[in-house]
A and B are shown apart, each in its own frame.
Chain A
Amino acid sequence: MSWLVQSLNSSIGKKFVMAVTGICLILFLIIHLAGNLTLFIGPKTFDGYVHTLEVVKPLIRVIEVILGLIFIFHIFNGTKLWLENRKAKSTKYKVNAASENSSIFSRFMFQTGSIVFIFLIIHLVTFWAAFNFTGHPETKAFEFYQIVVYWFQNEIYAGFYIFAMILLGFHLNHGFQSAFQTFGWNNSKYFPLIQKLGTLYAIIMAVGFASIPIYFLITGGN
Chain B
Amino acid sequence: MSEKNINLKLHIWRQESPSAKGSFEEFKVSVSPHASILEMLDDLNNRLEKEGKIPISFESDCREGICGTCGLVVNGHPHGPLPKTATCQLHMRNFKDGETLYIEPFRAKAFPVMKDLIVDRVGFEKIQQAGGYVSFNTGSAPDANAIPIAKEMADLALDAAECIGCGACVAACKNASAMLFVGAKVSQFALLPQGQPERYERVQFMVAAMDEAGFGSCTNTYACEAECPKGISVKNIARMNRDYIVAKVAKRTA
Contact = CB atoms under 8 A, between A and B. Distances in A.
Contacts, number: 141
A52 interface: no
Interface stretch (A79-87, A144-152, A161-169): A79-87
Interface stretch (B39-47, B136-144, B172-180): B172-180
B95 interface: no
Contacts of B216: 11, 84-85, 87-89
A84 B235 CA distance: 24
A85 B217 contact: yes
A interface: dominant SS? helix
B75 interface: yes
Nearest to B228: A101
Contacts of B175: 85, 88-89
A107 interface: yes
Contact of B107 (A15, A89, A101): A89
A93 B73 contact: yes
B238 A181 contact: yes
B195 interface: no
B90 interface: no
Nearest to A6: B254
A89 B75 contact: no
B241 interface: yes
A9 to B, nearest CB: 9
A38 interface: no
Interface string B74-88: 011100010000000
B240 interface: yes
Sorting the interface of chain B by its residue count into under 10, 10 to 19, 20 to 34 or 35 or more gives 35 or more
Contacts of A7: 248, 254
Contact of A12 (B75, B173, B240): B240
Given A11-B179, A181-B241, A184-B242, A93 B219 contact: no
Given A6-B254, A97-B77, A101-B172, A106 B222 contact: yes
A222 interface: no
Contact of B237 (A84, A100, A181): A181
Interface stretch (B28-36, B56-64, B206-214): B206-214
Interface string B164-183: 00000000111111010000
Contact of B104 (A12, A94, A109, A182): A94
Interface in A81-127: 81, 84-85, 87-98, 100-103, 106-107, 109
Contacts of A89: 107-109, 173-176, 216
B245 interface: yes
Given A85-B174, A88-B214, A109 B76 contact: no
A186 interface: yes
Contact of A92 (B107, B210, B237, B254): B107
B118 interface: no
A188 interface: yes
B238 A102 contact: no
B11 interface: yes
A98 B219 contact: no
B116 interface: no
Contact of A181 (B214, B217, B220): B220
A127 to B, nearest CB: 31
A88 B210 CA distance: 12
Contacts of A11: 177, 179, 207, 210-211, 215-218
A199 interface: no
A134 B214 CA distance: 49
B200 interface: no
Given A12-B245, A181-B238, A107 B217 contact: no
A185 interface: yes
Given A3-B248, A88-B110, 11 more contacts: A10-B207, A11-B211, A15-B219, A87-B216, A88-B108, A88-B215, A89-B216, A94-B11, A107-B174, A174-B220, A184-B243
Interface of A: 3, 6-7, 10-16, 81, 84-85, 87-98, 100-103, 106-107, 109, 174, 177-178, 181-188
